[in-house]
Chains A and B, each alone.
Chain A
Amino acid sequence: MLDISSHDVLLVGGGGAGLRAAIAVSETDPGLSVAVVSKVYPMRSHTVSAEGGAAGVALPEDSLDEHAYDTISGGDWLCDQDAVEAFVKEAPQELLRLEHWGCPWSREPSGRVAVRPFGGMKKTRTWFAADKTGFHLLHTLFQTSLKYNAITRYDEFFVTRLLVDDGRVQGVVAIELTTGKVQAITAKAVILCSGGCGRVFRFTTNAAIKSGDGMALAYRAGAPLKDMEFVQYHPTGLPFTGILITEAARSEGGYLINKDGYRYLQDYNLGKPEPQPVLRSMELGPRDRLSQAFVKEQEKGRTIEGPYGPVVHLDLRHLGEKLIDTKLPFVRELCLKYENIDPVSELIPVRPVVHYMMGGVHTDLNGATPLAGLYAAGEVACVSINGANRLGSNSLPECLVFGARAGRAAADYAAGQKAPGRQALAQAVDEESRLQEQFLQKGRGRERIATLREEMQAVMEKGAGIFRSGDSLAATTAKVRELQERFGDLTLDDRSRIFNTELISALELSSMLDVAESMAECALRRTESRGAHQRTDFPQRNDNEFLAHSLVYRQAGQAPRVEYLPVTITRWPPGERVYGK
């Protein structure tokens, strides 16, 4: 029989955004009971692998308006400027709050928190904890969350659907991995904080768990996803593994060079090479432009052919061992371990890899989706503050600012709601039957999870990568549809209950296919190039038609429906993105 538990506010995901939101709910109203439901233990969440830093105006010569302008221009004017204004104001407050909670930010000799330059930003404002900022942030949040008795954690519970009744979200259905039990957890408000979906692509910095589950949950419940065509490629990932080499390596002064040892970014309107890093110039340009430059270099035959495909080189040798060991120790560790290369004396092979989803569940400034009772924050959400391209070191404060906002908003909403009704539970029983029939009964299916997943990753990388075209996207949408059909023919080797990770992989694949469908469709419809979405058949930015977010709605059995929502412009009318000057 079905197990049921109830709480006031429920978080799906226990990473940076989820834990910050949970704490915010408890601080808003300690009487509310909070559930953090995560498919992994919270300290395993992908926030842990963020390296470079978190941006927040800190120095007297900097200003909130400049952080806002850098973010808006970095996002190629697709950012909602009211959201950006709120974000840049609250980011330093949140980072300071983390410091008060014990986060070990790196310091100046005076004892003040130190900041470093970062890509796309005109002033220095990125707070950092060596080069393991996300790790320290997540562990500080997790350890601090242990103080709050009102927070109940459901560790290793995989949410399979949202319970929706009477036009509002009333909880979730989740599989308890340890026992295989299907459980209904009702709540007056649900906040999705489940991260992005890098694993939809072939090469990614993302962990195995980034399968877009939260996006799929919202999508299937009828909430629209926004700006799904905007996928960020991080310019410096290690080949084969895709492991991230932080942007901080470039902000500390690293060079990107092609096979001739030439700093090729100077050919792409990103300024002139200087020996020291220059803000918003060359290697400190925005990520979309740097990744696109790589593809152009490859077309010109100037990349180096490595054993796992084309790469360029990241040169840190001139920084010296002392700087590398103080500011970039993790980079050195990763290169030595996974490439057998010491960045102090050798060149690091790097290539662009998928890193972040600008798009996600459509929310307002307070994390509220159009579906009553459903909120979202962090990478899973699209507010949008990142627009068409995110600047490095904006996503950690994004988790904190919008995690806190969504937490407060959900707490206020929940306080005014009556308890969820019994009707929601009927849906939970249906869900249990569905899982049993679709996956766990002995079937005659012929498809394997890995086969479908690899085909999806390959077609997305090829057809919806750094450069796309109408043809490549049409082929991609057709292939994704085919894979969704073949998914119905899936067979599992493991049909048991206890800790069935193959079942979880199948559910994750189904999330990824839904997300891939939405990404390809949005990319096909946006016939312009903007930020990270580059169409070879429509290479110009088209503000007349496309200064708007794409909202994509699922339509069972047919292609998704795409609508457009104009971008909110307050004080910064669209202009040219200028770097290198």
Chain B
Amino acid sequence: MAENIKLEVTRYHPGSDDEPRSQSYEVPLRKEWVVLDALNYVKDRVDGSLSFRWSCRMGVCGSCGMMVNGEPKLTCATFLADYAPGPVRVEPLKNFPILRDLIVDISDFLVKLAKSRPWLIRKESTPPPGEYLQTPEQLDAFKQFSMCINCLLCYAACPVYGLDPLFGGPAAIALAQRYNADSRDQGASERMDVLSHSDGIWGCTFVGECTEVCPKDVDPAGAIQQYKLTATKEWIKSLLMPRGER
């Protein structure tokens, strides 16, 4: 293995740059290093002004999503040696406005997440004295969709979100479906009103790349297609039984 590898990192400082530029750094090539280790090496020893987000370094907090050689990745779970001999291009997550260097503005996602009403909705005002019963099979029906770490790699991979910033996006819609599919939830119709919309589920053209890049196997594309089927069934029901219980 070579001693070093070259990183080509996006730099952007809003105060002094009109647009992002690329800066190269030589970092040691260690077999146990992930791309995040290389970025921290630069920050600690070479150039303290390089800014990026990170925290858990074990693929569960979702902070460190970036584009590595054009693919959306968690830099804490992407091994440097896989890119030898390099160079390795590290850029901020695609489809988001760039705040500084490798940091993007994710406030749009937070707004859309809240719009999905991602909480358990029940009709009764007081909960039962014990737990809501839920069998392991019922848990399985939505468990996969609950594994989303909000890393937003799916938004970076979604061309619809890139072309239309009003689109709700894979994670926000998948999270709505997580609650819809939870046997304890009774809020499907409330969420339907919000999401059965051209910027909601119907904006999705099933490119499927969101599922491909998801590091937690959430399968947001699957969630959205399931949602479409449910929405269609509900719409037909509402046509046939206009005054029926929704």
Q: Which residues of A contact B (CB under 8 A)?
A: 40-41, 43-46, 48-49, 96, 99-102, 104-113, 132, 135-136, 139, 143-144, 146-147, 155, 178, 207-209, 240-241, 243-244, 334, 337-338, 448-450, 492-494, 496-502, 505
A498/B120 contact (C-beta < 8 A), A135-B149, A207-B56, A209-B55 known: no
At the interface, yes or no: B62 with Cβ under 8 Å from chain A? yes
Instruction: Report yes or no: A207 in contact with B99, Cβ–Cβ below 8 A.
Output: no
Could you list 11 A-B pairs, sorted by A, with CB under 8 Å?
A44-B53, A96-B130, A102-B185, A108-B136, A112-B131, A132-B147, A139-B148, A146-B118, A496-B13, A501-B51, A501-B52
In the assembled complex, the Cα of A440 lies from the Cα of B43 at a distance in Å of 17
Residue of A nearest to B175 (CB): A143
Using an 8 Å CB-CB cutoff, how does the interface string of B45-63 with A read, 1 for contact, 0 for none? 1011101111111111111
In the assembled complex, the Cα of A332 lies from the Cα of B94 at a distance in Å of 30
B92 CB to closest chain A CB, in angstroms?
12
Which of the listed residues B14, B114, B118, B148 has the most CB atoms from chain A within 10 Å of its own CB? B118
Q: A44-B61, A178-B105, A496-B13 are in contact. List 7 more A-B contacts (CB 8 A).
A: A48-B56, A96-B131, A99-B132, A111-B135, A135-B60, A334-B58, A502-B49
At the interface, yes or no: B127 with Cβ under 8 Å from chain A? yes
- Residues facing A in B184-238 (CB within 8 A) are 184-185
Instruction: Report yes or no: B131 in contact with A40, Cβ–Cβ below 8 A.
Output: no
- Interface size classification for chain B: 35 or more
Interface of A is mostly: loop
Residue of A nearest to B44 (CB): A450
Instruction: Report yes or no: A146 in contact with B133, Cβ–Cβ below 8 A.
Output: no
By Cβ-Cβ distance, the 8 closest A-B pairs, closest first, are A111-B133, A493-B48, A450-B44, A102-B120, A494-B49, A499-B100, A100-B127, A207-B55
Interface of B is mostly: loop
A residues less than 8 Å from B138 (CB atoms): 111
Instruction: Report yes or no: B134 in contact with A107, Cβ–Cβ below 8 A.
Output: yes
Task: Indicate which residue in B43, B49, B133, B179 contacts A102 across the interface (CB closer than 8 Å).
Answer: B179
Task: Indicate which residue in B47, B110, B119 contacts A147 across the interface (CB closer than 8 Å).
Answer: B119
In the assembled complex, the Cα of A139 lies from the Cα of B147 at a distance in Å of 10
In the assembled complex, the Cα of A552 lies from the Cα of B222 at a distance in Å of 55
Task: Indicate which residue in A101, A155, A500 contacts B120 across the interface (CB closer than 8 Å).
Answer: A101
A residues less than 8 Å from B147 (CB atoms): 132
In the assembled complex, the Cα of A47 lies from the Cα of B49 at a distance in Å of 29
At the interface, yes or no: B166 with Cβ under 8 Å from chain A? no
A residues less than 8 Å from B44 (CB atoms): 448-450
In the assembled complex, the Cα of A505 lies from the Cα of B53 at a distance in Å of 12
At the interface, yes or no: B103 with Cβ under 8 Å from chain A? yes
B155 CB to closest chain A CB, in angstroms?
14
A498/B14 contact (C-beta < 8 A), A43-B62, A49-B58, A450-B45 known: yes
At the interface, yes or no: B10 with Cβ under 8 Å from chain A? no
Instruction: Report yes or no: B119 in contact with A502, Cβ–Cβ below 8 A.
Output: no
In the assembled complex, the Cα of A18 lies from the Cα of B101 at a distance in Å of 30
B139 CB to closest chain A CB, in angstroms?
6
Instruction: Report yes or no: B185 in contact with A107, Cβ–Cβ below 8 A.
Output: no
- Residues facing A in B121-179 (CB within 8 A) are 127, 130-136, 138-139, 142-143, 146-150, 175, 179
A residues less than 8 Å from B51 (CB atoms): 494, 499-502
In the assembled complex, the Cα of A334 lies from the Cα of B135 at a distance in Å of 27
A46/B56 contact (C-beta < 8 A), A146-B113, A493-B48 known: yes
Residue of B nearest to A95 (CB): B131
B residues less than 8 Å from A243 (CB atoms): 57-58
In the assembled complex, the Cα of A99 lies from the Cα of B119 at a distance in Å of 12
In the assembled complex, the Cα of A48 lies from the Cα of B52 at a distance in Å of 20
B203 CB to closest chain A CB, in angstroms?
22
Instruction: Report yes or no: B120 in contact with A208, Cβ–Cβ below 8 A.
Output: no
Residue of A nearest to B36 (CB): A208
Task: Indicate which residue in B53, B56, B114 contacts A146 across the interface (CB closer than 8 Å).
Answer: B114
B residues less than 8 Å from A144 (CB atoms): 119-120
At the interface, yes or no: B77 with Cβ under 8 Å from chain A? yes
A residues less than 8 Å from B49 (CB atoms): 493-494, 496, 502
A residues less than 8 Å from B55 (CB atoms): 40, 44, 46, 207-209
In the assembled complex, the Cα of A496 lies from the Cα of B51 at a distance in Å of 11
At the interface, yes or no: B3 with Cβ under 8 Å from chain A? no
At the interface, yes or no: B8 with Cβ under 8 Å from chain A? no
Instruction: Report yes or no: A107 in contact with B136, Cβ–Cβ below 8 A.
Output: yes
At the interface, yes or no: B18 with Cβ under 8 Å from chain A? no
In the assembled complex, the Cα of A332 lies from the Cα of B1 at a distance in Å of 28
In the assembled complex, the Cα of A136 lies from the Cα of B131 at a distance in Å of 17
B99 CB to closest chain A CB, in angstroms?
6
A residues less than 8 Å from B60 (CB atoms): 48-49, 132, 135
A residues less than 8 Å from B57 (CB atoms): 207-208, 241, 243
In the assembled complex, the Cα of A136 lies from the Cα of B52 at a distance in Å of 26
B residues less than 8 Å from A102 (CB atoms): 119-120, 179, 182, 184-185
In the assembled complex, the Cα of A327 lies from the Cα of B14 at a distance in Å of 47
B75 CB to closest chain A CB, in angstroms?
13
In the assembled complex, the Cα of A101 lies from the Cα of B132 at a distance in Å of 10
Instruction: Report yes or no: B56 in contact with A139, Cβ–Cβ below 8 A.
Output: no
Residue of A nearest to B46 (CB): A493
In the assembled complex, the Cα of A443 lies from the Cα of B157 at a distance in Å of 43
B residues less than 8 Å from A496 (CB atoms): 13, 15-16, 49
Instruction: Report yes or no: B150 in contact with A43, Cβ–Cβ below 8 A.
Output: yes
B residues less than 8 Å from A105 (CB atoms): 131
A residues less than 8 Å from B139 (CB atoms): 104, 106-107
A residues less than 8 Å from B184 (CB atoms): 102
Instruction: Report yes or no: A146 in contact with B135, Cβ–Cβ below 8 A.
Output: no
Task: Indicate which residue in B77, B119, B134, B142 contacts A337 across the interface (CB closer than 8 Å).
Answer: B77
Residue of B nearest to A134 (CB): B60
Using an 8 Å CB-CB cutoff, how does the interface string of B73-109 with A read, 1 for contact, 0 for none? 0000100000000000000000000011101011000
A residues less than 8 Å from B59 (CB atoms): 334, 337
A residues less than 8 Å from B134 (CB atoms): 107, 111
Residue of A nearest to B59 (CB): A337
A109/B119 contact (C-beta < 8 A), A102-B184, A135-B149, A209-B55 known: no
B residues less than 8 Å from A44 (CB atoms): 53, 55-56, 61-63
Instruction: Report yes or no: B62 in contact with A499, Cβ–Cβ below 8 A.
Output: no
Residue of A nearest to B142 (CB): A104
Residue of B nearest to A241 (CB): B57
Instruction: Report yes or no: B61 in contact with A49, Cβ–Cβ below 8 A.
Output: yes
A43/B61 contact (C-beta < 8 A), A107-B139, A207-B56, A448-B48 known: yes
At the interface, yes or no: B245 with Cβ under 8 Å from chain A? no
Residue of A nearest to B41 (CB): A450
A443 CB to closest chain B CB, in angstroms?
13
In the assembled complex, the Cα of A502 lies from the Cα of B1 at a distance in Å of 32
A109/B48 contact (C-beta < 8 A), A43-B61, A207-B57, A337-B59 known: no
B residues less than 8 Å from A450 (CB atoms): 43-45
In the assembled complex, the Cα of A107 lies from the Cα of B99 at a distance in Å of 43
At the interface, yes or no: B19 with Cβ under 8 Å from chain A? no
Task: Indicate which residue in B13, B48, B99, B105 contacts A492 across the interface (CB closer than 8 Å).
Answer: B48
A residues less than 8 Å from B15 (CB atoms): 496-498
